[in-house]
Amino acid sequence: MKIKYISHETSDVERAYFGSKNTFFESIEISGPADGESAFKESRNLKITNSKFSLRYPCWHNQNLHVFNSKITKTARAPFWYGKNITLDKVKIYSPKAVREVIGVDITNSLMKSDEFGWKCRRISTKNSTILGFYAFFDSKMVHLEDSLLEGKYSFQYIDGLTIDRCILKTKDAFWHTKNAVVRNSTIIGEYLGWHCENIVFENCTIVGTQPLCYAKNIVLNNCKFTDSDLAFEYSEINGNILNSSISIKNPLSGKLIVDKMPELIVDENDRSEGRFSLEKNK
């Protein structure tokens, strides 16, 4: 396969490289009028390095796209949509709606400052990266985060299939309606964690914030610690063990927790457990 090489070009032409195939772009700048769009739409087998994008919708309907050491500015809205097999390495994205409806996304060593990032994707992963913005990963499937930082409200909502390892999450209303997840060795800071979620394992995690894991089904806690957490597990099915923690529990539905220190357990006239929940002190 012959590879075409294009370098040190600046273009303000709409659809400047539409339908490009088997091309290596180096030191390209796409900028110009505010209504320009889709520089690389419908392209295949592209490598782009040391480049800058400022026009909106630059990479729609792309397949086999690798972007390295490049910058995507705020005006390059919605840069990666409807693609397949996209790799982003050492990329800085400052535009909203950065990745959507893509199958197969690998992000490493990158910064995503983007509201509504990673929506409706399949097989999307981040490693050694930072994600800043509201509503990250909404309604995606097979999501993986490793050694990353996420800051922003309403993350991981309506996900099916999620793994997180060695991450810091600073997020409110995270994991709502999420299913089939494993979260390991991570710190999660934020209010109202995981309401209406299902089939989630938290392992070696620290959880901070009010009213975590309410209305949840089949939640497992393995060696987790709660800090400044209250009114946890209301109407939830929850099992596992909690390390020495500052927590209060209100009207859990069912399950068994083994604890280092007995928490405050609030059972009032709205209790629905009918004796199906128990607390046991770790021996």
Overall pTM surpassing 0.85 (yes/no)? yes
Output the pLDDT for position 34: 67
- Residue 150 · residue 168 · CB < 8 Å: yes
pLDDT at residue 12 is higher than 70: yes
**Percentage of the chain lying above the pLDDT 70 cut:** 100
For residue 175, give the amino acid letter.
Answer: F
| Tokens, residue 166 | 């060695």
Instruction: Assess if residue 173 is contained within a domain.
Output: yes
Question: What is the per-residue burial (b if ≥16 Cβ within 10 Å, else e) of 222-240?
Answer: eebbbeebbbbbbbbbbeb
Cβ neighbors of 116 (< 8 A, separation 6 or more) are: 96, 97, 100, 133, 134, 135, 136, 138
Instruction: Assess if residue 141 is contained within a domain.
Output: no
pLDDT tens digits for range 56-104: 999 999 999 999 999 999 999 999 999 999 999 999 999 999 999 999 9
Instruction: Assess if residue 243 is contained within a domain.
Output: yes
Output the pLDDT for position 35: 72
Instruction: Assess if residue 11 is contained within a domain.
Output: no
Instruction: Assess if residue 235 is contained within a domain.
Output: yes
Output the pLDDT for position 95: 96
Cβ neighbors of 163 (< 8 A, separation 6 or more) are: 143, 144, 145, 181, 182, 183, 184
Instruction: Assess if residue 278 is contained within a domain.
Output: yes
Measured distance CA(195)–CA(29) in Å, rounded: 44
| Tokens, residue 227 | 């800090």
pLDDT at residue 33 is higher than 80: no
Measured distance CA(38)–CA(83) in Å, rounded: 13
Instruction: Assess if residue 90 is contained within a domain.
Output: no
**Percentage of the chain lying above the pLDDT 90 cut:** 92
Phi and psi at 108, nearest 5°, equal: -135, 145
| Tokens, residue 208 | 């901070």
Residue 13 confidence class, pLDDT cut points 50, 70, 90? confident
Q: Look at residue 209 and give its three-state secondary structure.
A: coil
Output the pLDDT for position 207: 97
- Separation in Å, CA 77 to CA 1, 99, 264: 32, 10, 48
Domain residues for 281? 158-283
Instruction: Assess if residue 259 is contained within a domain.
Output: yes
pLDDT at residue 154 is higher than 70: yes
Helices and strands (H, E) in the chain, number of each type:
0, 32
Q: Which long-range contacts (CB under 8 A, 24 or more apart) does 192-198 make?
A: 194/219
Number of domains in the chain: 1
- Residue 201 · residue 179 · CB < 8 Å: no
Output the pLDDT for position 38: 84
